[in-house]
Chains A and B, each alone.
Chain A
Amino acid sequence: AQTVTQSQPEMSVQEAETVTLSCTYDTSESNYYLFWYKQPPSRQMILVIRQEAYKQQNATENRFSVNFQKAAKSFSLKISDSQLGDTAMYFCALDSGNTPLVFGKGTRLSVIA
């Protein structure tokens, strides 16, 4: 079975500071994708960043970057220079291809002015 665990239900960060959201996963597949999705109060889930398991280089998208540790099955999201608009629920997700996308329970991030 594939599982995704986000151990931080809620986090807060001061504007302009850096925050790291944790995610661990479990899968028996050798190749897979990992995603971070953001769900602001408007409800629409937005893809933030993705990482293919075969790629050793950590993905980066502007202020968002990941720390992918394949052996440890860890996939954390770092948000630099946090902005008020980053306030949202963040979901880590695992895609092994043949089965539906599996999501963690989410981390509620609040950015404080």
Chain B
Amino acid sequence: KAGVTQTPRYLIKTRGQQVTLSCSPISGHRSVSWYQQTPGQGLQFLFEYFSETQRNKGNFPGRFSGRQFSNSRSEMNVSTLELGDSALYLCASSLDRGMNSPLHFGNGTRLTVT
């Protein structure tokens, strides 16, 4: 079974630009969660989607948005990029968000904003 696939692996953008990251979950998984990982803040929850609906949202500004498609693939978008948005963005999928459904992570997208 293929794992969680995130594309691209690396991105370099300029302040003010926007970016879209993609995540394909494990086949059969309907829940997709996004996390931002930085050395100072660790892993911070961005949002979670289940069956195309946003179920939870973290404490991030409205510049961060996401969506999920009918095939469970998910995208997240960051508009008006700031230097502080430089981070590793991790996507994780699970069958559901029940407690006995652990997250399976992708390799992440490393975003650098210059």
Contact = CB atoms under 8 A, between A and B. Distances in A.
Interface residues of B, number: 24
Contacts of A104: 42
Interface string B18-47: 000000000000000101000000110100
Interface of A: 31-33, 35, 37, 42-47, 50, 52, 91, 95-97, 99-106
B92 interface: yes
Nearest to A35: B102
Contacts, number: 52
A32 B48 contact: no
Given A47-B104, A99-B56, A103-B43, 17 more contacts: A31-B99, A32-B99, A33-B99, A43-B108, A45-B90, A45-B105, A47-B102, A47-B103, A50-B102, A95-B102, A96-B99, A97-B99, A100-B33, A100-B48, A100-B58, A101-B33, A106-B42
Q: Which 9 A-B pairs have the closest CB atoms?
A: A45-B105, A100-B45, A103-B43, A105-B42, A97-B99, A33-B99, A44-B107, A43-B108, A47-B102
Contacts of B88: 43
A24 to B, nearest CB: 15
Nearest to A106: B42
19 contacts: A31-B99, A33-B99, A33-B100, A42-B107, A43-B107, A44-B105, A44-B107, A45-B105, A46-B105, A52-B99, A95-B102, A96-B99, A97-B97, A97-B99, A99-B56, A100-B45, A101-B33, A102-B45, A103-B35
Q: At the interface, is chain A mostly helix, strand, loop or mixed?
A: loop
Interface of B: 3, 33, 35, 42-43, 45, 48, 56, 58, 88, 90, 92, 97-100, 102-108, 110
Nearest to B58: A100
Contact of B45 (A32, A37, A101): A101
A95 to B, nearest CB: 5
A50 B88 CA distance: 24
B108 to A, nearest CB: 5
Given A44-B108, A45-B90, A101 B42 contact: no
